[in-house]
């Protein structure tokens, strides 16, 4: 059954985007982190009794559980479908935030945000993109992936001011109850709108010329074992580790950096950075559909490397305007990773085991966030440590840029198939390089 994408496909895209808009609370961690640090500094019987070095641990652990839960969640998405998988994610996030609201202990927050919410993010996120991609032609892979994952990046635009408002009125723990309940309801509700296409559904591909449409050629359907034997997987994993780790290092600290020049309005930097983050996902998706994934990745990584080195004089200038611009562009480049790598996974290894395959590749995101974030915290504790963090990130990104040249694009062979208007049209069938 070969047909164009229906309104049902766009319904799935919008539902996935909405789920990611709720799950993007991860990127508002710097707001929570600032409130915890203020509580530690203020002291008192109800204050957070944490060591200063441990404040970022829930976020770092969350990134790790987010990434590795994607493997289990990806398998679930392939076996039980996206709706049930996203429903599990919503319940886990709600449970995690409820635990955070019930206690200010280190163990409760590491478990609530790090383990439960982190796993919930993985289950919800893994269920949003795959069904959306299945409704559309390969010519729109980057665009559709970009739209769906843009929700996750755009979330801090409303979550940052909302969290700041709730924290100011109700305090840290009551705010967690409100956020947890709201996000659980949204994710669980929208999960019922996620659906794979019916059996036999094959989106049509636009012909090279005219209005003719041709049936989508069968692509690769590699299992995870075959993927792990591919050299491209390890090149992608390393670049994902670098691109995500460098971006998360800045995202997790942007509110703290902005506070020096913007005071209580630091959440504005988080929100504007989120706009850049979301924009990068959509722009990279469209661009990669036009000029190729590898070329787009090379551009984004090299641009990000330049920005990391530029961050040193910008932060030293204490200029709010320059800092916001820098954060926006860093967010833009970071966001591109979350569109490019799922598109790479679909292009190289197909749809049959897409959830598990991309979940395995996505571990690079979590390990990158954990390692780069932890190393950054260690360096920042030293004199001149912030500059060292930016230099390290810039050097890693420059290395990643070089590695992209070893990612050969897929070769294609042409075969002729009848079009819907009865003519023979050449169709390029992708094969791994």
Domain of 251: which CATH number?
1.20.1250.20
* pLDDT value of position 161: 84
Range of the domain at 393: 2-431
How many domains does the chain divide into? 1
Q: What residues form DSSP beta bridges with 2?
A: 202
The reported pLDDT for the residue numbered 194 is 94
Burial of residue 209, with CB atoms counted within 10 A of its CB: 0-12 exposed, 13-18 middle, 19 or more buried: exposed
Place of tokens 């390890």: 234
Query: What is the 8-class DSSP label of residue 384?
Result: T
For residue 48, give the 3-state DSSP assignment. coil
**402 Cβ neighbours under 8 A, 6+ residues apart:** none
CA distance 79 to 75: 6
Pinpoint the alpha helices (H) of 81-117: 82-102, 106-109
Question: What pLDDT score does 414 carry?
Answer: 43
CA nearest 147: which of 10, 24, 272, 247?
10
Count of residues making up the chain:
433
SS3 158: helix
What's the pTM value of the predicted model, to 2 decimals?
Answer: 0.77
pLDDT at 220: 67
Supply the pLDDT for residue 3: 52
The confidence score (pLDDT) of residue 78 equals: 82
Low-confidence spans in the chain with pLDDT less than 70? 1-6, 204-220, 251-267, 381, 385, 408-433
| Token digits of residue 214 | 């041709």
Q: How far is CA 170 from CA 47, 180, 301, in A?
A: 14, 14, 41
Of residues 366, 368, 359, 364, the one with CA closest to residue 71: 359
């Amino acid at each position: 059954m070969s047909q164009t994408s229906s309104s049902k496909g766009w319904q799935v895209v919008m539902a996935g985007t909405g789920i990611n808009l709720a799950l993007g609370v991860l990127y508002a961690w710097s707001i929570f982190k600032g409130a915890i640090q203020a509580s530690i500094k203020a002291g008192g019987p109800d204050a957070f009794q944490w060591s200063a070095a441990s404040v970022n641990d829930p976020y770092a652990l969350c990134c790790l559980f987010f990434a590795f839960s994607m493997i289990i969640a990806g398998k679930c998405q392939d076996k039980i479908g996206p709706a049930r998988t996203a429903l599990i994610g919503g319940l886990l996030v709600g449970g995690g935030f409820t635990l955070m609201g019930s206690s200010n202990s280190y163990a409760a927050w590491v478990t609530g945000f790090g383990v439960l919410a982190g796993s919930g993010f993985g289950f919800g996120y893994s269920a949003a993109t795959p069904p959306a991609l299945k409704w559309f032609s390969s010519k729109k892979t980057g665009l559709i992936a970009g739209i769906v994952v843009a929700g996750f990046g755009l979330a801090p635009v409303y979550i940052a001011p909302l969290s700041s408002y709730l924290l100011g009125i109700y305090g840290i723990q009551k705010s967690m109850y409100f956020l947890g309940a709201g996000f659980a309801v949204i994710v669980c509700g929208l999960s019922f709108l996620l659906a794979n296409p019916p059996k036999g559904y094959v989106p049509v591909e636009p012909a090279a010329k005219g209005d003719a449409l041709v049936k989508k050629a069968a692509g690769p359907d590699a299992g995870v074992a075959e993927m792990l034997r591919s050299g491209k997987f390890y090149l992608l994993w390393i670049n994902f580790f670098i691109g995500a780790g460098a971006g998360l290092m800045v995202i997790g600290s942007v509110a703290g950096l902005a506070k020096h020049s913007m005071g209580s309005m630091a959440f504005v930097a988080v929100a504007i950075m989120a706009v850049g983050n979301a924009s990068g996902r959509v722009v990279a998706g469209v661009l990669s559909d036009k000029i190729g994934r590898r070329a787009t990745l090379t551009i984004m990584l090299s641009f990000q490397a330049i920005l990391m080195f530029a961050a040193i004089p910008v932060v030293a200038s204490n200029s709010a305007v320059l800092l916001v611009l820098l954060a926006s562009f860093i967010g833009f480049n970071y966001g591109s990773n979350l569109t490019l790598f799922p598109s790479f996974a679909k292009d190289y290894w197909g749809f049959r085991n897409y959830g598990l395959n991309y979940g395995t590749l996505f571990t690079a995101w979590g390990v990158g966030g954990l390692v780069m974030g932890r190393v950054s915290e260690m360096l920042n504790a030293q004199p001149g440590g912030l500059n060292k963090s930016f230099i390290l990130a810039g050097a890693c990104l420059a290395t990643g840029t070089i590695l992209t040249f070893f990612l050969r694009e897929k070769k294609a062979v042409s075969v002729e198939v009848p079009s819907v208007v009865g003519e023979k049209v050449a169709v390029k069938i992708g094969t791994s390089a």
